[in-house]
Amino acid sequence: MTQSSLPIVRLRPKANARAIRHGFPWVYANELVTDRRTKALPPGSLAVLEDDTRQAMGVVAVNNGSKLICRMLDPDPGARIDQAWFAARLSRAQQMRERLFDAPYYRLIHAEADGLPGVVIDRFGDVAVIQPNAAWAEVLIGPLAAALAEVTGVSAIVKNATGRARGLEGLGEETVVLRGAVAEPVPVAMNGATYMADLLGGQKTGLFFDQRPNHAFAARLARGARVLDVFSHVGGFSLAALAAGADQALAVDGSAPALDLARQGAAQMGMEARFDTRKGDAFDVMAGLAEEGAQFDLVVCDPPAFAPSRQALDAGLRAYERVARLAAPLVAPGGYLGLCSCSHAADLTAFRTASARGIGRGGRRAQLIHTGFAGPDHPLLPQLAESGYLKALFFRLAP
């Protein structure tokens, strides 16, 4: 599309046009003039955004059904959003990942930070998984997938259209193979461990690449240790610990399929004899382990996002505090406790405060020895604090 063929949408006078010009990627619904023509645009439509003085600011994607009514795609108002445009952004993203990683297992596109707002793409060797979490990406999934195949050379592409973000955009859920065929599950080597990723039925895209550096740090604490991995998914921390020389590891999760994949990963590593799983509610399991008098040299808790929005922040912080309170007594004297949050609404200070309070309420005293974040394949857009969602705190607990 050319600029002349796109409709025009306009900011209200009080909208923060300067922030958008400086890289902020969103326009909120109360910042846009929503006349009849704008309201008539189908979700995912492209338009040229103008400020209140009618100066063009770039090409945006419009969704009247979302609080994020516009997402900035390109500051050039004449940009053509086609396969070549997607290929340019994908190539730029891939160049950095190829410099960082020896094998093509990583997050290739991290939404706004990689110039594709609302889009996540994870690469699993010869397979790529797209999460089109914004309406515009759903509309343009064809040229996006074509560009992805062109740039990466993958033979299979999965569209994983599930999750809370799609509901906020008014989109339905489905998982479908767009190109090629996918043999399940897919083995992924990270930090010396082997993880089995379910690309068609697992959580998110099948594996959490964002925790890679935090798995590596925890593994340094795990040599010769007894390890408890709570909210383990497919064995993220526990399998990395075993690969680093842990004596034994117990993975706890509420999903039987996830624990089955964790066991498969341990078997692939030849470490099934040192690995065990326990299915159940994590809070109940931790309470039960305390009643049993069980203790571990390293305990790591990586729960789901308890505070996915500001409205859920207070309840989410209480949940993180409860995790810390239940986990702390399970740490052997002088042992280590890792606590993680993937809630963008809970900033680092709030999460650290809740964690420290929970450790204290669990009857323990601690020193904070390391703060971790997502890996570099999950870049942060400086103008968008929400893109830096992952926090990992590692404590040493006093005897």
Question: What CATH number corresponds to the domain at position 36?
Answer: 2.30.130.10
What confidence score (pLDDT) does residue 167 get? 84
- The CA distance from 282 to 289, in Å, is 10
193: tokens are 């461990």
Q: How many CB atoms lie within 10 A of CB 4?
A: 7
What confidence score (pLDDT) does residue 191 get? 96
Report cis status (omega within 30 of 0) of the bond before 379: no
Residues 280, 389, single domain; the answer is yes
% residues pLDDT > 90 (the chain): 90
Residues 64, 169, single domain; the answer is no
Q: At 231, is the pLDDT very low, low, confident or very high (cuts 50, 70, 90)?
A: very high
pLDDT value at 119 more than 70:
yes
Q: At 4, is the pLDDT very low, low, confident or very high (cuts 50, 70, 90)?
A: low
Residues 194, 175, single domain; the answer is no
Helices (H), the chain: 17-21, 36-39, 83-100, 135-139, 141-152, 164-168, 212-220, 236-243, 256-268, 282-292, 313-327, 348-361
371 falls within a domain:
yes
Among 148, 179, 210, the domain-final residue is 179
Residues 156, 206, single domain; the answer is no
- Find out whether 200 and 115 touch, Cβ atoms under 8 Å: no
Q: CA torsion, points 133, 313, 20, 138, in degrees to nearest 10?
A: 10
- Find out whether 129 and 160 touch, Cβ atoms under 8 Å: yes
What confidence score (pLDDT) does residue 169 get? 87
343-367 pLDDT tens trace: 989 999 999 999 999 999 999 999 9
pLDDT value at 380 more than 90:
yes
Lowest mean pLDDT among 121-130, 217-226, 303-312, 380-389: 380-389
Q: How many helices (H) and strands (E) does the chain have?
A: 12, 19
pLDDT value at 1 more than 60:
no
311 falls within a domain:
yes
Describe the strand order of the beta sheet including 8-10 as a list of residue ranges. Answer: 8-10, 45-50, 56-62, 68-74, 26-28
Question: What CATH number corresponds to the domain at position 321?
Answer: 3.40.50.150
**Known catalytic membership, residue 301:** no
- The CA distance from 145 to 228, in Å, is 40
333 falls within a domain:
yes
Residues 229, 314, single domain; the answer is yes
**Pairing relation of β-strands 8-10 and 45-50?**
parallel
What confidence score (pLDDT) does residue 375 get? 96
Average pLDDT over all residues of the chain: 95
49 falls within a domain:
yes
Question: What CATH number corresponds to the domain at position 90?
Answer: 3.30.750.80
- Find out whether 9 and 31 touch, Cβ atoms under 8 Å: no
85-112 pLDDT tens trace: 999 999 999 999 999 999 999 999 999 9
Long-range contacts of residues 16-24, Cβ cutoff 8 Å, at least 24 apart:
17/51, 17/52, 17/57, 19/383, 20/49, 20/57, 20/72, 21/57, 21/75, 22/383, 23/381, 23/382, 23/383, 24/72, 24/383, 24/384
Q: At 131, is the pLDDT very low, low, confident or very high (cuts 50, 70, 90)?
A: very high
Candidates 70, 301, 340, 342; catalytic one: 342
Residues 310, 251, single domain; the answer is yes
Q: Is 101 helix (H, G, I), strand (E, B) or coil?
A: coil
- Find out whether 331 and 357 touch, Cβ atoms under 8 Å: no
What confidence score (pLDDT) does residue 206 get? 84
Residues 272, 147, single domain; the answer is no
Residues 244, 368, single domain; the answer is yes
158 falls within a domain:
yes
What confidence score (pLDDT) does residue 307 get? 92
- The CA distance from 386 to 391, in Å, is 12
181-219 pLDDT tens trace: 998 899 999 999 999 999 998 777 889 999 999 999 999
> What single string gives the DSSP state of each residue in 327-339?
HGGGEEEEEEEEE
Computed on alpha carbons and rounded to an integer, the radius of gyration of the chain in Å comes to: 22
Residue 33's closest CA among 15, 55, 6? 15
Phi, psi of 327 (to 5 degrees): -80, -35
298 falls within a domain:
yes
184 falls within a domain:
no
% residues pLDDT > 70 (the chain): 99
Long-range contacts of residues 55-59, Cβ cutoff 8 Å, at least 24 apart:
56/3, 57/11, 57/17, 57/20, 57/21, 59/3, 59/6
Among 119, 151, 179, the domain-final residue is 179
What confidence score (pLDDT) does residue 386 get? 76
Residues 303, 205, single domain; the answer is yes
Number of domains in the chain: 3
55 falls within a domain:
yes
What confidence score (pLDDT) does residue 2 get? 43
Among 159, 179, 199, the domain-final residue is 179
- Section 168-177 average pLDDT: 89
298-313 pLDDT tens trace: 999 999 999 988 899 9
Residues 114, 213, single domain; the answer is no
Residues 219, 170, single domain; the answer is no
Residues 337, 194, single domain; the answer is yes
Phi, psi of 82 (to 5 degrees): -135, -170
Range of the domain at 160: 83-179
List residues bridging with 196 in a β-sheet. Answer: 187
- Find out whether 71 and 57 touch, Cβ atoms under 8 Å: no
What confidence score (pLDDT) does residue 9 get? 98
The angle formed by the CA atoms of residues 241, 244 and 250, to the nearest 5 degrees, is 25
Q: Which residue has the tokens 């159940």?
A: 280
